A = this chain, B = another copy of it.
Amino acid sequence: MAELLEQEYNIPIEELNTALSGGMFVHVRNMLDSMPTSDIALLLHSSPPKSRTVIWQLIDSSIQGEVLEELSEDVRNPILRSMTPEKVAEAAGNLDDDDFAEVLRGMPDTIYRKVLKSMDKRDRKRAERVLSYEEDTAGALMNTDTITVRPDVTVDVILRYLRLKGALPEATDYLYVVDKDEKFIGEVSLAALLTSQPVSLISEVMETDFEVIPATMEETEVASLFERYDWISAPVIDENGLLLGRITIDDIVDVIRENAAHSMLSMAGLDDEADTFAPIVKSTQRRSLWLGVNLFTALLAAFVSSLFESTLDELAFLAVLNTIVPSMGGVAGSQTLTLVIRGMAVGHVTQANQRWLMGKELAIGFYNGLIWAVLIAGVVALWKQDLMLGAVIAFAMMMNLIAAGLSGVFIPLMLKRMNIDPALAGSVILTTVTDIVGIFTFLGTATWLLI
């Protein structure tokens, strides 16, 4: 049975592709009709840009909105551009507040205006409201589908009301209690409603030591609160304590995943690129910026080497060894940098302990420097039968690994203070430092001692 289930969860991408390229559109449409929207979204993400348009047109228009909501911006925008403004307005109008805001925000300006025009008045009002909160804040992440109750009614009244209502919004685990000015004063869990006596008043069963989220809080901070306190949903309030809406865990999971992907991609200089199957020209453009920055730093390193051209001319073997010390410094520095960036992201690295951290990484740089200096000295001395050459490269290795450890802590802390994303800029600055220190100490010491 277990195997059967795991099979079921795999999406038949291959079968779909074969059917698509064979022009069996009716078959594809039938397959799509039987798939949940999240699977269709995954399928679109896994397909080349050209197939995406074809697949999109085969999706039943009644579920296009739901699929849209689960697509990343990179995949969604070309699809939005291929639709008429009326269709977009219709699909987007059915979305939750937070997804509605995200789709609107992701639209190119010209399309956005056309879509807004073809919306009815109610949706246009709603668009204004959801867009009034800044992107990446709690306000932009929340939905307004809360159920609010008053403190002075009995549990029984609420139970009757809910039975009349017939269904609750998704992921509802709390009803919110507000006073007559809509001010948030407490919350009642569904579990409490079920386990309390019907005659109890809401004010008796509600929790009042609640935590609330201000609408202006940044979404990464909201996510770390959810993680820390194991919340499933949390109320969002404005600056006067009025209830605005709620944030649910499924949106937080998306934030956590996106942030993790962002850190990882940023460290490879892929700030903007998350779509593995983006068109070639777009990908080339996005990646070339980073390659350009790297070419500049590589030329800088070459320039440092060129200062020692006469030394290299006299002793060609130095050129052979010239890449070893910078390479080791780059790896050691990246290790420290990655740990510090992660430590900052999860809140372990703060003002209070950064001096201690600097001391630790200095010590590790020293010990690792010692280990690899001795080893490389031995290898080089044996290879070239030259003890002095071994000593020169050992010294450079030692210096560079210490520089790598210190830079690995200092650079991200400094960048953060300057409000620059350390994951994006950190590694290029770091390798520039370790390249230059490595080449300079190696060729400099060699010029001094060997020539």
Contact = CB atoms under 8 A, between A and B. Distances in A.
A340 B170 contact: no
Contact of A217 (B2, B38, B297): B2
A190 interface: yes
Interface string A276-320: 110011011001101110110111011001100110110011111
Given A328-B291, A334-B268, A347-B42, A302 B276 contact: no
A319 B312 contact: yes
A148 interface: no
Nearest to A158: B194
Given A284-B364, A320-B302, A327 B194 contact: no
Contact of A305 (B280, B281, B320): B320
Contacts of A287: 332, 335, 364, 368
Contact of A9 (B195, B197, B225, B360): B225
B195 A295 contact: no
Interface in A329-349: 331-332, 334-335, 337-340, 342-343, 346-349
Interface stretch (A78-86, A104-112, A127-135, A370-378): A370-378
A291 to B, nearest CB: 6
Give chain A's interface secondary structure class: helix
B225 A291 contact: no
B331 A291 contact: yes
Contacts of A363: 280
A166 B192 CA distance: 8
B323 A290 contact: no
Interface in A151-173: 159, 162-163, 165-168, 170-173
Contact of A298 (B195, B260, B298, B328): B328
A59 interface: no
Interface string A212-234: 11111100010001111110100
Contact of A316 (B170, B312, B331): B312
A348 B294 contact: no
Contact of A276 (B197, B323, B339, B375): B339
A190 B194 contact: yes
Please tell me how many copies of the chain the complex holds. 2
Contact of A194 (B193, B268, B310): B193
Contacts of A197: 163
Contact of A348 (B42, B165, B191, B327): B42
Nearest to A42: B347
Interface stretch (A44-52, A118-126, A414-422): A44-52
Nearest to A316: B313
17 contacts: A1-B239, A2-B217, A6-B214, A6-B221, A46-B352, A48-B353, A48-B356, A163-B194, A168-B191, A190-B194, A249-B253, A270-B339, A288-B372, A291-B332, A295-B324, A298-B327, A301-B323
Interface of A: 1-2, 5-6, 9, 13-14, 17, 36, 38-39, 42, 45-48, 159, 162-163, 165-168, 170-173, 190-191, 193-197, 212-217, 221, 225-230, 232, 237, 239-241, 249-250, 252-254, 256-257, 260-261, 263-265, 267-270, 273-274, 276-277, 280-281, 283-284, 287-288, 290-292, 294-295, 297-299, 301-302, 305-306, 309-310, 312-313, 316-324, 326-328, 331-332, 334-335, 337-340, 342-343, 346-353, 356-357, 360, 363-364, 367-368, 371-372, 375-376, 379, 435
Which 9 pairs across A and B sit closest by C-beta, in order of nearness?
A: A319-B319, A260-B260, A2-B214, A276-B343, A313-B316, A268-B338, A230-B250, A168-B191, A14-B352
